[in-house]
Structures are given as C-alpha cells and as structure tokens.
Amino acid sequence: MSYAKSGKNKFIFFLLTCFVVLTLIYIKTIFSLPSQITLFENREYTYDFKSPFLNIKPDTEDVLMLESRDVSLNSVNFKFSTPVMFKPQKMGRVNLNMELFGFIPLKTMQVDVIPDREVVPCGNTIGVKINMEGFLVVALSEFETIDGKILAPAKEAGIKPGDLIVEINKKPVESISQLIKYLDNFDGKSIHVMYKRGNSYHNAIIEPAISLETKKYQLGMWLRDSTAGIGTLTFYDPETKKFGALGHGITDVDTGILMPLDDGEIVESSILAVKKGKQGEPGELKGILIEDKEKLGVISKNCDQGIYGILNENAKNEFPDKLYSIGLKNEIKLGAASIMSNIDGKSVEEFDIEIQKISERNASGSKGMMIKVTDKRLLEATGGIVQGMSGSPILQNGKLIGAVTHVLINDPTKGYGIFIENMIKNIDTLNTNVNTNMKKAS
C-alpha cells in the first residue's frame, strides 16, 4: 500500500515538474517576442506562437486582422494552436494583449502598420533653421543694481533653466529684440510672465531692476528663441513631398531640452572644411547656410526621431531621384551595409559600413543599431562619423533601412543609427496644414 502511494506521489511530482518546465519554457518564448513590430499595409505575415494556451486580444479590430484555422476573422479573443496570419488593413496602431489560459497577462505587443511605399534616399547636407514657440531660458544670473544690491529677479520669481516663456503681460512673445525694446521703455511696474515647464503652464511675477553696469532694466536670465546648423537630409517621398532629416531631434545646446518648434525651414548649405574626429573629440562638417536662395522646404515637426516637413516644389531638382524600397527592422542583418553622405560639399557618395548590433530595447529611439565605418576613403577624410552627418541614409540589400544619428565620442569610427520605419511613421503623422506651411516657404 505504501509502495503504491509512493509511486503515485512520484508520478504527480513528475507531472508537476513537467508542467512547470513547459510553462517556464513557454513564458520565456513569449517574452522573447519583440514588444513592438512594424508591418506594411496589405501584406500577410505568418507567426507561429506554438502554444494552445495563448489568448490574444487586440484593442481595436480595424487596423489588423488575425486569422488561423481555429478562429473567425471577426473574433475579438483569439486562441491559437496553429500559425497565425497577420493581415494589416490600414495605417494605424493596435496593441495585442497576450494572456496565458485567457486570464494570466503575459505581455502586450504593439503593432504599427505603415503604408508600403518607395522613397528617395538623399544624403545631401542642408542648413537647418528653427524658431521656437516662445523664449527658452538657458541660464539665470544675478547682477548688482544701482543701489548696491545683488539681485536675480527671474530666479527669485521661481523661473528655472529649461522653462519656456510663452507670454509677457498676457501677450504672446514674438522676439527677444521685442523684449529688449520693452525693457528699454520699462515704466517700473512688475512683469507678469506665463511659462511652460514640462507639460504644464505656470505664472510668475518678475520685478526688473536697473543694473549698475548697463544702467538698464534687467531680468537676470539668458534666453534663446532660435537656432541654426548643418545636418543631412535622409529621404523624401516624391508623391507627398514630405521629408525626414537628422534622425534625432534638435535640442538646446545648454539645457539639452528638445526645442519646441514654432516654425522652421531647410536651406542649401556649403561645406567649407572638415574637422576630423579623434578619440574623445568628435569631428565636424564646417559649413555655412546659403540664405539668399529659395528655401528648400519648411519644417513642421521636431521630435526625438528627427525633423520633418515639406519640400518646396522646385527643391526636388536639388536632390537624387532614385527610388528605394523601405527595409523594416526585421529585415536588417548584421554585417555589410553602406551610408550616403556629402562630405566634400559637392556630391553625395556611398561609403561602406558594418552593422554590428541591432537593438530590441531601443527599437523606437534614435539608437536602434550600432554601426562601424569601414570605408578607407571616409576614414581618411573624416575619421569616421562627424557632426553634420546625422541623417545620412543607411542602405542594405538595395533597401533604405535607417539613418546615422550619433557618434561614439571615444571611437569616431562607430556610431548609432535609427530604424527608417520610425522616421516613416513621423512623416505619416504630419497633418494637413501643409498648405499654410508652404506659403511660408515660397
């Protein structure tokens, strides 16, 4: 009797052990799936989840259809034991909530659907100018007044570096020169300021004081309302004239804050010299903006994944016209690739690189892959990746797969790139105030 009981307990223990092992293997398999994938419209993709225990619940039904032998297309709760067909229906986003046995949450997979299209990779250097929506406070200062006091009016009012001044005395700010003129004619009253910190708005009262040094009213803060520089145009869509550039956002050099865009433009540029990069010191394409010619286009978006806007009708004549298919992240392979860049100010050339790492954790950011320059011509000319090359298109197997974004300070031969699918999503979200922006650019 005891022998039979012992055998039964061993059998139960064996079953429990098998169940735990299988469950752990299963959960590991599920968590090895990416948290985000991008698919093209009107294509079919097959995924084999290899489990009868998995339930998938989409949070919307019109972006992506799921199909297998076990379910109907209109079901909102999919239980699969066979390969699953993903059928993207239209541009958009759907979250697939995965559950074990229908009630134990495992993970959520974000699926972005984008149009299947061809675009033109560029590699041309451009001049970039943006005006901010307000005044960015880059620093605070104190000064001695005519009566011998040491004051810091803005700081005492609660203003901090990184704040964005949007109104002065209940009127929208227009330019720093306007503010200087206002202070020159100041009547001694307090100034009411509205500023933005993060995503919230605040009010402050600043009491200007007369500086002993300048004999003028001062606020004790350093402000910036615009910036300009050199970058690289990544691509444009010849049908819509929408473009993407840089692959990373334009941030303030002092505060590191993403500069809030009021309006901006891209113009022609001329490369005057190249400062080679070396360990601990990034190189740079030194150039000037050519502002006496027609603008190339307007910028309508500045975000972490780059700048985006609309080209002028005539601007397409300044850039290449060869169409390339888009290569999604899951198509990218480690190994040989190339970048397109204009380092001599005359022509765009293709240079050899190697893709050394593809990141899953930073899939939506500007550091999706690590690259290394292997082309001797580029290494001799620049030392590797330099400032101004941000936005240089990355090509592999005849497809546009990304853009150069950053250089490693300690090794200028290496840097990071953004997946092109992230940049494509940004031009797809540009709204229809194109006509208004085009009037500004013409």
CATH code of the domain covering residue 166:
2.30.42.10
Q: Rounded mean pLDDT of 373-394? A: 94
Q: Is the pLDDT of residue 435 over 50?
A: no
- Is residue 390 annotated as a catalytic residue, yes or no? yes
341 shares a domain with 265? yes
124 shares a domain with 102? no
Instruction: Name the nearest CA neighbour of 394 among 246, 234, 242.
Output: 234
Q: Is the pLDDT of residue 353 over 50?
A: yes
146 shares a domain with 101? no
Residue 6 lies in a domain: no
351 shares a domain with 281? yes
382 shares a domain with 299? yes
202 shares a domain with 62? no
Residues 114, 243, 119, 387, CA torsion sign: negative
- From 248, 366, 392, 406, active-site residue: 248
237 shares a domain with 382? yes
91 vs 369, more confident: 369
DSSP letter, residue 145: B
- Is residue 375 annotated as a catalytic residue, yes or no? yes
- Is residue 300 annotated as a catalytic residue, yes or no? no
Q: Rounded mean pLDDT of 412-435? A: 82
Residues 185, 190, 193, 197, CA torsion sign: positive
Q: Rounded mean pLDDT of 36-47? A: 83
Q: How far apart are CA 220 and CA 327, in angstroms?
A: 51
The whole model's pTM is what?
A: 0.82
Residue 15 lies in a domain: no
**Count of domains for the chain:** 3
Residue 4 lies in a domain: no
- From 68, 269, 390, 392, active-site residue: 390
247 shares a domain with 164? no
Q: Is the pLDDT of residue 211 over 80?
A: yes
pLDDT of amino acid 51: 59
251 shares a domain with 190? no
pLDDT band for position 440 (cuts 50, 70, 90): very low
Structural domain of 67:
32-114
pLDDT of amino acid 433: 47
289 shares a domain with 374? yes
- From 338, 375, 392, 406, active-site residue: 375
Cβ proximity of 337 and 355 under 8 Å: yes
Q: Is the pLDDT of residue 69 over 70?
A: no
Q: Rounded mean pLDDT of 41-60? A: 75
Q: Is the pLDDT of residue 243 over 60?
A: yes
Q: What percent of the chain has pLDDT over 70?
A: 85
Residue 26 lies in a domain: no
From the number of C-beta atoms within 10 Å of its C-beta (0-12, 13-18, 19+), residue 148 rates as: exposed
Buried b vs exposed e over 216-248: b needs ≥16 C-beta within 10 Å?
ebbbbbebbbebebbbbbbbbbeeebbbbbbbb
101 shares a domain with 122? no
268 shares a domain with 330? yes
Q: Rounded mean pLDDT of 383-412? A: 94
Q: Is the pLDDT of residue 131 over 70?
A: yes
pLDDT band for position 366 (cuts 50, 70, 90): confident
Q: How far is CA 282 from the centre of its chain?
A: 21
49 vs 16, more confident: 16
Residue 22 lies in a domain: no
Q: Give the Cα-Cα-Cα angle 321, 323, 328 (nearest 5 degrees).
A: 140
